[in-house]
Chain A
């Protein structure tokens, strides 16, 4: 960072976008990955620390079925992806939690597994949620093939040809993960076990390492099957093509409870991004090379959007609108006088906010951050938190009431007496604990709803306390009103974290869980959001990212908004 930008960023770094603007579902549902996204952080670390990758074991037959161990050596530790692949009937292939069989199942092992560990995992990993794991395992995951692409790539490579780029563009991955479990699920290690390891200091790094290894594995697998089928005729994939292949993911309702349950963590994610943006837009001067980079990124994003084709009508409309608006911005940037003068980044953001759709606005945020890595990348170190909600029993009801009035105005304005304002509820189904979304007035299960109704519960609390004597302590109040303990803890805690709370009604009949999913997935680094309904989306991760043997010093982080190889 040069001296001018340091000075600029220090003087106005508190000018962040306000939470009442940012933490709204409509904007959250328009989010894009940024260079602070967790997959980006991971590839930067891999490149910087020169991690070594080793396909330690690949005992897979000509159909691609068998056991594999792919290992990565970080600076201080070794981790192994243990993979089991097997045949499955096409009609068994589902993205849902209720699935019972998968094309491939994975455990990320802490270290190098012994034969006995592999045998134990062979008994459990293919069962996924029905298996039991130990703290030696850090992540549990599974994936299904995109059959049309997998079979096509096998066919082409085995005949000495490269796959059809058009088909690659339309799918983007060979396999799609349908769950990636970490942090203590099914007996796996709690995050606390590894939280002090430098490679996992950032948020979700271990889960994304597993996903990154799975992506590498899928490419090795398809090349292996092609080689078995084609013999001497077979070829490996062109590196530019394999780099373009990401790893798919199908995500459903499970992410919503996580976001509500971890408000401080969510605050830290958003705070880091908004701090980064505030640093960029507060730059008074701009270097010519930054403008050049920004304009190139606009063109890159435009090309990327051309390859982002989905069936969902709403998303298609948004994509089209954003493509049009990018063109307008590219034209705006061609006019020299627009780029002269100070605070160009702030003016570009203002332009997008006054003229363009939410989706374009958030894309611009991503591009502004992309051009200023040297002054923002360190913020990724602040995106983790294990802090919990904490009750202050000594607070007087008067003060609690003021906190609610001042910080939860958005919730107090909602008329929860209107049935449409609380039609929805989340619950765990007894069928594999699959998270589901119900209609309170037509479905069973509302009595067992998950505690996600922050707005409704805050309003109920306020109604209860507003006419009470103000000098009663919260501790005393809770002795006879223990049903408010959770929401009071939350109110008292989150008021210190501006971006902790989603400022919308999650129970509203019009609420679209997909907005929550997109928000969270954008922080993971997802691209090509492909909504399959309001409750479920497919995405691509690591598309364009270097594979283990493709890291170079100067290109390791230049893979956002990938476009297909010519």
Chain B
């Protein structure tokens, strides 16, 4: 497990928000959407999972043009289907916020059972993170891992969640997967399928406020995407861009 190593860097929540927003912008994601991604990343970090490890493949996929943020919605008998309008994977950076928007929309209209399918998502756990960080209540988010196992996350109240797997290591995902998002009936909330983990969002949040969020791997790769929002400095901008002198004696 990565957390046995020393962290490469320990970040504050504010730094997660700052760097993750801009790393997403660095791969072409608009600011408003990138801010939602950063919020999801904080939720991931509070769970004790390295947010760089989770989000780097999603950023890479966008950067290499395998994923798209253009979404098409179709309403079928078995629920709403969201998919990329291009022949690409759907970026979870867009899929997550869009499914949250859909949940907010239908929740206002009815309290009935709801089901969404998000096709070919590049990073399914980020969909769960979006639902969890938006504190939308009880939703089951499921997908098949690369080895065919069904992975499920149950978001509960106040950003808490349970998983169908043990520990903090999310089952490997090296190809896109369809993600199913379902509202959960009351009687299923305590189902024994969710025995493995319960993350106490507020309790963990306090812990990480005291300790910071450790990043164990690939910080320099992540920072590379972030650094794309920075503008190279030249002599002119160095002298004139900040409006102040380079030597101040008084």
Contacts and interface: CB of A to CB of B under 8 A. Distances in A.
B148 interface: no
A431 B238 contact: yes
Given A184-B15, A430-B230, A485 B30 contact: yes
Interface stretch (A216-224, A361-369, A373-381, A473-481): A473-481
Contact of B236 (A185, A394, A443): A443
Interface stretch (B99-107, B123-131, B185-193): B99-107
Nearest to B209: A193
Contacts of A488: 32
Nearest to B93: A482
Contact of A394 (B9, B33, B108): B108
A516 to B, nearest CB: 13
Interface in A368-411: 391-394
Interface residues of A, number: 71
A90 interface: yes
B12 A188 contact: yes
Nearest to A476: B73
A196 B180 CA distance: 39
Interface string A529-547: 0001111100000000000
B12 A187 contact: yes
A189 B12 contact: yes
A443 B105 contact: no
B85 to A, nearest CB: 7
Contacts of A232: none
B240 to A, nearest CB: 8
Given A430-B233, A436-B231, A451-B31, A479 B72 contact: yes
A25 B35 CA distance: 27
Given A95-B248, A193-B210, A478 B101 contact: yes
Contacts of A430: 227, 230-233
B241 A96 contact: no
B14 A479 contact: no
Given A94-B246, A430-B231, A135 B101 contact: no
B186 to A, nearest CB: 24
B250 A448 contact: no
Given A394-B108, A429-B233, A480-B70, A187 B212 contact: yes
Contacts of A486: 30-33, 35
A132 to B, nearest CB: 7
B31 A96 contact: no
A428 B230 CA distance: 5
Contacts of A27: none
Contacts of A474: 101
B105 A536 contact: no
Nearest to A149: B250
B218 to A, nearest CB: 18
Interface in B93-125: 94, 97-98, 100-102, 104-105, 108
B244 interface: yes
Interface in B28-81: 29-33, 35-36, 69-73
Contact of A190 (B12, B69, B250): B12
Q: Which 4 A-B pairs have the closest CB atoms?
A: A535-B243, A486-B32, A184-B14, A485-B32
Given A478-B97, A479-B101, A534-B243, 14 more contacts: A134-B10, A184-B13, A190-B209, A391-B101, A393-B101, A394-B105, A394-B108, A430-B230, A434-B241, A438-B237, A475-B98, A475-B102, A535-B243, A536-B244
